[in-house]
Structures are given as C-alpha cells and as structure tokens.
Amino acid sequence: ETGVTQSPTHLIKTRGQQVTLRCSSQSGHNTVSWYQQALGQGPQFIFQYYREEENGRGNFPPRFSGLQFPNYSSELNVNALELDDSALYLCASSLVGADYGYTFGSGTRLTVV
Amino acid sequence: DAKTTQPNSMESNEEEPVHLPCNHSTISGTDYIHWYRQLPSQGPEYVIHGLTSNVNNRMASLAIAEDRKSSTLILHRATLRDAAVYYCILRDVDFGNEKLTFGTGTRLTIIP
C-alpha cells in the first residue's frame, strides 16, 4: 500500500488569493474526500469525489471546489481566501461503501495572512 | 446524522488495558461503527470498525452492545504511542452521503 500523500505540507497565502492543494489516493481506492480541521477541533467534511464527480458536500461555500482525476488523484481549490480558512486540510481515500475504512494523508497546513 | 457521545478525556497507565466508551443511542440499522485516532500533527488513522459483532484486529478490539446503542474500543496493552484523540464515528451505507462526521473525540493520555 502506498498510502495517501498530500502536497505541499505547509503553505502561507494572503487574504484574497487562490490556493490549490493536491492529493494522491491510496492505490486501489476509488473515492477521495477532503476535510478541514481548525486548531483544536475535529475534521469537518468539505466534499467527496467518486468517478470524477462530486458525491456529497458539507457546509462549505462554492469558493471551495475540487477535482478528481482518472488516476484517482485529487485537487482542492479555494478561491478568495479568508483568514478563517487557515486550517489543516486533510485528504482521505477509500472504497465506496460504509464497510471500508478511510486512509488519511498527513495534511496541508494552510495559513492565510 | 446519527451522533455519538464520548468522554472528553481519559488517562491510563502504560502497559495496562484501556476501554474507550462511545454512546450512539440513535444509531440506525445500517450504520457501521468506525473508530479513528489522531496523533499530534498527523491525519486521522483508521483503527477498527464493525456493524453488530465484536471485532478484533492487530491494533484493537471493538465491543458492540447487543442493542448497538453503545460500543467500546479496547486497547489491550497501552503504549506511549497510543496517546491520541480517539474518534467514534457512525458511517451509513447511503451512497452520496459518505462523509465521516467527527465529534470532539476522547483525548487519551498514557502515563508512563
């Protein structure tokens, strides 16, 4: 198993800028999800992709968008960054269905100044 | 979403068993019970999951009450590496609603 890898590990952006975070899913997994984790809180679901289409979305505005590629890698894009977007962004992959566990990456720490 | 309730924190001595409780009184018949843990500065790590029967793997055991309204994660012999936040999560089979809803979890401290 190759695990889930995310890049970059740390990033500093200015308010109003745009950012793209990248994720490579674990080999054999066909879904990828993104989570936002603010300091001291549990991860919050942003959205999930399956077969390159969005398959569920949490309570995040449209400026959070994503892509899943045929090789099951994924991107999270955030436009018009706000200070409150500062957080750890986690990517997780799995097989579709509740009888499978998720494999999480180590995350990208985004700081918006 | 079905919700879970966990103690905010627990302590255990190294090399002793640890029982982490979780209440999920509104669980539906199709909800799987999943446990994850998160070590400092890392992403969550899958620990174990089950539906109705007790489950064992190399990391832990999961004991599920007969009415499924509660469960207990058992670490048989705690080590310092087990110090983490443990999350009990219900995951439904509903396609298109695959999210994991994390609560605040239980912060487990291991005393050397």
- A·B CB contacts under 8 A: 73
Q: Give the pLDDT of residue A108.
A: 97
The bridge status of strand A108-112 relative to strand A10-13 is parallel
Nearest chain A CA: its distance from B79 CA (Å): 22
Mean pLDDT of each 10-residue bin along chain A, 113 residues long: 89 98 92 93 92 90 95 94 97 83 95 98
Question: Which structure tokens are listed for A76?
Answer: 């999270």
Tens-place pLDDT, residues B51-83 = 999 999 999 999 999 999 999 999 999 999 999
Place of tokens 């918006």: A112
Nearest chain A CA: its distance from B21 CA (Å): 18
Q: Give the pLDDT of residue A99.
A: 77
Instruction: State chain B's mean pLDDT as an integer.
Output: 91
Q: Quote the CA–CA distance of A74 and A46 in Å, as a whole number.
A: 13
Q: Quote the CA–CA distance of B43 and B49 in Å, as a whole number.
A: 18
Q: Band of the pLDDT at B35, cuts 50, 70, 90?
A: very high
**Chain A residues touching residue B45 (CB < 8 angstroms):** 104
**What are the DSSP calls for B43-66, one per residue?**
--EEEEEESSS-EE-SS-EEEE-T
Q: Give the pLDDT of residue A51.
A: 87
